[in-house]
Amino acid sequence: MVFPFTSIEDFKVELTEEHELFRKAVRQFVEQYLEPVAMEIEKTDRIPDELFEKARELGLFGVGIPEEYGGQGGGHVMEAILMEELSRVSPAFGTAVAVRALFTTPILLFGTEEQKRKYVTPVARGEKFAAHANTEPCCGSDVAAIQTRARRVNDHYIITGRKIFITGSDKADYFVVSARTSPPKEGKRWWGITVFIVERDTPGLKVGQRFNVMGLRGERPHEVILDEVKVPAENVVGKVDEGFKVIVTTYDHTRVGIAAQGVGIAQGAFEKALNYALQRQAFERPIIAFEGVAFKIADMLTMLEAARLLTYWAATLADRGDRRFIIAASMAKTFATEVAEKIANMAIKIHGGVGVDMETGVERYLRDAIITTIYEGTNDIQRATIVRQLLRDVFGVKLSLA
């Protein structure tokens, strides 16, 4: 009945009063500070500095980070709540806040105590921004294929390469950077990659062009160029040559947040569609009175709640330390982001002509939703991960999908 899981107990979604109080606090921040400037962000393609300052005052950058390192505590569920509530109104701002997890997660999981205190603490307090530089022109989902190089010279490394589509890099004070330090071993393409912490003011590091992607206006990615960048050996995160594990494990943990972003987008688009369907009159009746619209609303709500349950279940498994959260996170990311795309598309159709007018703020949900199906591992990569984990966990079979 529950295959490939073992018990119906595995499907618990553990939410507490503390989670609800936190959600209400974030909702208050969103309604008071974020919602009034959401369309300004969309039009100017810039997030006001004052918004980041308010988020810092509320400790939003520290959610999910242990208090001993300057954070607010909480786990994956708390982070999912934060991402959903922010993305309901501004997926771009949700991304701007959440991207710090791509920097802090690998250090918290694999870094030294000194690295955690030196780099995680100021990021958790909102005093510094950080980014994660892995994707390259040659490769995104294929982490093992990266071409950036790092060579050891005495007590430091020299890194040279180019990273693209790096979210938050225009503001980042610190970067997590992947580079190849050794050639791969036979049968182990992943071997030979190392992860480094690089500070922005390091000579040779340059944040280059902005990529004018279709969505996430206000938080669009840039390229990061590394030209003979000198990094101390003490800035290696994890083991030398085993950085592939650092990168993919990081994505396992942060993927739940992208699922939550999909839920937030879907929620925002659904609310707009429902409100419009109640207010818009056609043939002397609100359009929700017509089955063509009413059934869309019903389908949207059904998909939305299914995506939410799947996402918070994955987050619960992660908080419990259940390794099966990896397959759950991939399922949640795939389903929730595709639901977000579908619901956003349906919301546009319910709005009719005004749905494609940028002034109404509806079509932006579709543009943002499509991006969520691509970053943090495309949904086809998630499907490959689901099958690999299924075969590994149930049958002990290791399968490489082409």
Q: In degrees, to the nearest 5, what angle opens at C-alpha 13 toward C-alphas 11 and 18?
A: 165
Which of 263, 169, 269 has the alpha carbon at shortest distance from 220?
Answer: 169
- The total of other beta-carbon atoms located within 10 Å of residue 321's CB is 8
φ and ψ at residue 212, rounded to 5 degrees: -85, 70
- Residue keyed to tokens 């510094």: 128
The span from the CA of 199 to the CA of 204, in Å, is 11
Instruction: Judge whether 373 and 379 are in contact, CB under 8 Å.
Output: yes
User: Can you read off the two tokens belonging to residue 86?
Assistant: 């922010």
The span from the CA of 209 to the CA of 224, in Å, is 8
The span from the CA of 316 to the CA of 149, in Å, is 38
The span from the CA of 278 to the CA of 288, in Å, is 6
Q: Which residues contact 16 (CB under 8 A, 6 or more apart)?
A: none
- With both helix axes pointing from N to C terminus, report the angle between 91-98 and 76-87 in degrees, rounded to the nearest 10: 150
- With both helix axes pointing from N to C terminus, report the angle between 91-98 and 243-279 in degrees, rounded to the nearest 10: 160
17 is an active site residue: no
Instruction: Judge whether 75 and 126 are in contact, CB under 8 Å.
Output: no
Q: Give the three-state DSSP class for 351.
A: helix
User: Can you read off the two tokens belonging to residue 235?
Assistant: 């800035």
* Amino acid (1-letter code) at residue 185: K
Q: Omega into 4 within 30° of 0, i.e. cis?
A: yes
Instruction: Judge whether 387 and 401 are in contact, CB under 8 Å.
Output: yes
The catalytic position among 85, 341, 363, 376 is 376
Instruction: Judge whether 236 and 267 are in contact, CB under 8 Å.
Output: no
User: Can you read off the two tokens belonging to residue 208?
Assistant: 């280059």
DSSP letter at 140? S
The span from the CA of 27 to the CA of 255, in Å, is 22
Q: Which sequence positions are flagged as catalytic?
A: 376
